[in-house]
Amino acid sequence: MSTENNNTKFKVLLGILSVLLIVLSVYTFRLYNSSKNTESTLTSQKAEIETELEDLITNYDEIIQENEIKDNSIIEARQRIEVLLDSVKNAEANVQLIRRYKIEIGKLKTERKLMFRKADSLIAANQLLATERDSTITVLGETIRVVDSVTEQNEALAETIKTGSIVKTLDLIGSAVIVRKSGKLVETQRSSRADKVRACFTLSPNPIAEKGDRLLFVQVINPKNNLLGKKAVMEFGDGTLNYSESTKVYYENEELDVCILVAANEADLVKGTYTINVFDGSTQVATSTMELK
């Protein structure tokens, strides 16, 4: 009887152990599958985090390159994301790590909104500056054109005044004269009897001409193209003038009669046509001819 009881107990114990072994096997199998699922989920979440970080970097690159932004805070934010991406790639996936990175990505997305709002302000400011610069360039160009136009007008006006201020010479008459011992001058048409050549003319009135001393020069050129008189040279800024005689008169913007005597060698007084030129400074103001027999 005792042996039967022991067998029965053994069988019961063996059954219990079998049940426990089955339960343990099922639990172990489920735990293994759960672990595999968790690992797969963490790996997937890590990949998603890497993708989000790469998208953030791309966003920053686009806003920096397309708008040529040089703001240090935006560039530094992009660099921090790049460092975080490298850290994620090199780390083993676990629950705490994934949680921490998700929190960090949330902060980065919030920061991105603020940075891009700042970038929009910078872009708007740059566009405004560009518009103002273009406007300034346009105004400057217009101002330069106006200045050039005014300069041209002033130059034209100065030239007009310069031309208008020239004192014109009227009624230039050349004649050969005999000089008497008394100083009296007698006109002659014979070259053999002449002592000097006289050039007489009238300075016309000119209210815009400069008032004061004026240096006048006379050229007398004989038929052989020889210059009579002093044969002197006067230098001016724009050249030189060979002249026969000069005289200084005081011009008061009113009509003024002037006569100039030019001495001549007997050999220079020949028959033919003589040319007489009058200069006011370096400007020729009159020309005429005379005939000697």
Delimit the CATH 2.60.40.10 region(s) of the chain: 169-292
SS3 241: strand
> In 3-state terms, what secondary structure has residue 221?
strand
Residue 292 has pLDDT above 80, yes or no: yes
80-111: b or e for each residue (b if 16 or more CB lie within 10 Å)?
ebeebbeebeeeebeeebbeebeebbeebeee
Give the containing element (helix H, strand E) for 141.
helix 95-164
Select from 77, 97, 78 the least CA-distant residue to 87. 97
Each residue's pLDDT tens digit, 184-228: 888 888 888 888 899 999 988 888 778 888 889 999 999 999 999
Strand pairing of 169-179 and 185-188?
antiparallel
DSSP string across 71-128: -HHHHHHHHHHHHHHHHHHHSPP-HHHHHHHHHHHHHHHHHHHHHHHHHHHHHHHHHH
Dist CA 10 CA 118 (whole Å): 81
Can you say how many angstroms the Cα of residue 41 is from the centroid of all Cα atoms in its chain? 64
Q: Over the stretch 11-27, which tens digit does the pLDDT of each residue have? A: 666 667 666 666 565 55
The number of residues in the chain equals 293
Tens of pLDDT along 133-176?
776 677 667 766 766 665 565 555 445 455 455 778 888 898 88
> Residue 55's CB: how many other CB atoms inside 10 A?
12
Question: pLDDT-derived band of residue 83, with 50, 70 and 90 as boundaries?
Answer: confident
- Tell me the three state secondary structure of residue 197: strand
Shortest CA distance to 228 belongs to which of 271, 185, 261, 180? 261
CA separation for the pair 155, 239 (Å, rounded): 22
What is the structure's pLDDT at 97?
Answer: 63
What digits encode the pLDDT tens for the residues 243-290?
A: 999 999 898 888 888 899 998 888 889 999 999 999 988 888 889 999
CB-based burial label for 225 (10 Å; 0-12, 13-18, 19+): exposed
**Top-tier CATH class for 169-292:** mainly beta
Position 120: which residue type? Answer: D
How many C-beta atoms surround the C-beta of residue 77 within 10 A?
A: 18
